[in-house]
Chains A and B, each alone.
Chain A
Amino acid sequence: QVQLQESGPGLVKPSQTLSLTCTVSGGSISSGGYYWSWIRQHPGKGLEWIGYIHYSGSTYKNVSLKSRVTISVDTSKNQFSLRLSSVTAADTAVYYCARAPEGIIDHPFDPWGQGTLVTVSS
């Protein structure tokens, strides 16, 4: 079964760029049929979808974060990545990667990684 695992620095300074990678195992990103997503959860708050990428490289992002978000895919490593620029304390959150089936807009996210906490602080 497909499993996802997030990795990256747990501490980022304000105004810098947050960079995370999601490694996919048990299946190939390049086999198609799915969107590869990033979702975050602020401490004590609900979940917020950030965006996703298709293995072809096409992306779709949350409108409110779009100007600061870059999502990329490396099919040779079976990984996809998130970069969030100009971070502030408001970007402190647990960041999850997840998979979603393509073809329907109101799709679920399954499976998810276990998440990684990123704290923005000097």
Chain B
Amino acid sequence: QSVLTQPPSVSGAPGQRVTISCTGSSSNIGAGYDVHWYQHLPGTAPKLLIYGNSNRPSGVPDRFSGSKSGTSASLAITGLQADDEADYYCQSYDSSLSDYVFGTGTKVTVL
């Protein structure tokens, strides 16, 4: 079940900045649990992009950044590139469900 809400799609021209929101509730993001972001190209392994709200794993360009406030989190992509076209998912933990929860997913299109 997707208890974290994301916009279905966002788009931007090469070089532009796009942001993806991830809206949760008081039992997950609002409870202080960390938010993580994944980049997924269908048919491939999802890739961890941001962990612990705003940290980048080694090898992830600094064009990707994450933030969290209240019951929401955001992923920003600056200097948009063609190979950024993918699906992006947020993830956290929900104490009411005692479950790991994912966002609904956002498809990024580079115009």
Contact = CB atoms under 8 A, between A and B. Distances in A.
Interface in B3-58: 33-34, 36, 38, 43-48, 51-52, 57
Contacts of B100: 49, 109
Given A46-B2, A48-B1, A49-B100, A109 B45 contact: no
B99 A63 contact: yes
Contacts of A63: 97-99
What interface size band does chain A fall in? Answer: 20 to 34
Given A46-B89, A47-B89, A48-B1, A110 B98 contact: no
A49 B44 CA distance: 18
Which 3 A-B pairs rank lowest in CB-CB distance, beginning with the nearest? A46-B2, A108-B36, A110-B48
Interface of A: 4, 45-49, 62-64, 96, 98, 105-115
Interface of B: 1-2, 33-34, 36, 38, 43-48, 51-52, 57, 89, 91-93, 97-105
8 contacts: A46-B105, A49-B99, A96-B45, A96-B46, A98-B46, A108-B52, A110-B51, A115-B43
